[in-house]
Amino acid sequence: MRFDILTLFPEMFPGYMSQSILNKSIERGLVEIHVHNMRDWAEGRHHKIDDTPFGGGPGMILMVEPVVNCVRDVQAMASQPGTVIVTTPQGQRLNQPMVEELAVNQRMILLCGRYEGFDQRVIDVLRPLEVSIGDYILNGGEVASMVLVDSLVRMVPGVLGDEQSSWDDSFSRGNRLLEYPQYTRPRDFEGHQVPEILLSGNHGEIERWRKAKSLENTRDKRSDLLDE
Ligand code: ADE
């Protein structure tokens, strides 16, 4: 899976890309991430990429020309065309089924917005998929792009070990339950004990207990998942 990330803040990405699962996937050739500075496509000595809005109003707008040129040039950097995605609070809200749908794309070009947004013609000309990671406003689309990448690379075969990927499967395919509580040593922490059943060695009973706890957790914390 290849990502081309178009941003005005490329320095935000190396730290994130060096985290373990992603770094290993990149080293193993399962994932490619190319970060491009949109400002490199802005003309003039000052590489101006934003301007004040026609009609007045606060903030600055990212200009159509450098952004569209950047997307077109980046598209041409690989033979396979990429699905263009803009991270924006106006987009379709991301959830696990949507992650699974997006994961069929072998290449995605992620456009990170900043300031008050893009000139509307960026959207009209490129017709990107608009994706929001939730109903709140971030300072820009960079963190949202990282969220997208993070959720998508988990879908690439070989990125996760078998155990983890089968857990993901069971969460997303219809079985929308939260996880059961987990414990490790010590058995007693300041009087808080590990539930006896988990020490019993009775796998059938443990399985039943975990299912019940999953359901209880979901009912207490996210009953909306059960309503769905
Ligand atoms: N940019 C700013 N806020 C955002 C959000 N909630 N989702 C995606 N991109 C954003």
CATH of the domain at 216: 1.10.1270.20
Residues 69 and 181 reside in one and the same domain: no
Cβ of residue 137 lying under 6 Å from some atom of ligand 1: yes
**Separation between Cα atoms, residue 48 and residue 43, nearest integer Å:** 7
What span, in angstroms and rounded, lies between the C-alpha atoms of 174 and 216?
17
3-state SS class at 37: strand
pLDDT at 125 > cutoff 80: yes
Domain ranges, residue 140: 2-153
Name the percent of the chain in helix, strand, coil, to the closest 5.
45, 20, 40
Question: Do 16 and 105 share a structural domain?
Answer: yes
Q: Does 117 sit in the ligand 1 pocket, CB within 6 Å?
A: no
Check pocket membership of 7 for ligand 1, CB cut-off 6 A: no
**Other CB atoms closer than 10 Å to residue 64's CB: what's the count?**
17
* Same domain for 129 and 16: yes
In this predicted structure, the answer to whether residue 166 has a pLDDT above a threshold of 60 is no
| Amino acid at residue number 141 | G
Write down the pLDDT at residue 115: 80
Q: 105 CB less than 6 Å from ligand 1?
A: no
The residue to which tokens 């990125």 are assigned = 159
Question: What is the Cα Rg of the chain in Å?
Answer: 22
Per-residue model confidence as pLDDT tens digits over 72-112:
999 999 999 999 999 999 999 999 999 999 999 999 999 99
Cβ atoms of 83 and 108 within 8 Å: the answer is yes
By most ligand atoms within 8 Å of CB, the mutation choice from 8, 132, 135 for ligand 1 is 132
DSSP 83-133: EEEEEEEEEEEP-HHHHHHHTT-SEEEEEEP-TT-B-HHHHHHH-PEEEES
CATH code assigned at 80: 3.40.1280.10
Q: What percent of the chain has pLDDT over 70?
A: 95
The total number of structural domains in the chain stands at: 2
**Minimal-distance CA residue to ligand 1 atom 6:** 89
Same domain, 211 and 102: no
What Å distances lie between residue 36 and 16, 145, 226, CA to CA? 15, 13, 42
Contact 138, 5 (CB under 8 A): no
| Same-domain pairing of 118 and 193 | no
- Asked if 33 and 140 sit in the same domain, the reply is yes
Q: pTM for the complete prediction?
A: 0.93
In a domain, 160, yes or no: no
Q: Is residue 167 part of a domain?
A: no
The pLDDT score that the predictor gives to residue 114 is 84
Answer yes or no: is 34 within a domain.
yes
Banded model confidence at residue 172, pLDDT cuts 50, 70, 90: low
What is the distance in A from the centroid of ligand 1 to the CA of 9? 15
| Residue 165 domain-assigned (yes or no) | no
Rounded mean pLDDT, 6-24: 96
The answer to whether residue 168 is domain-embedded is no
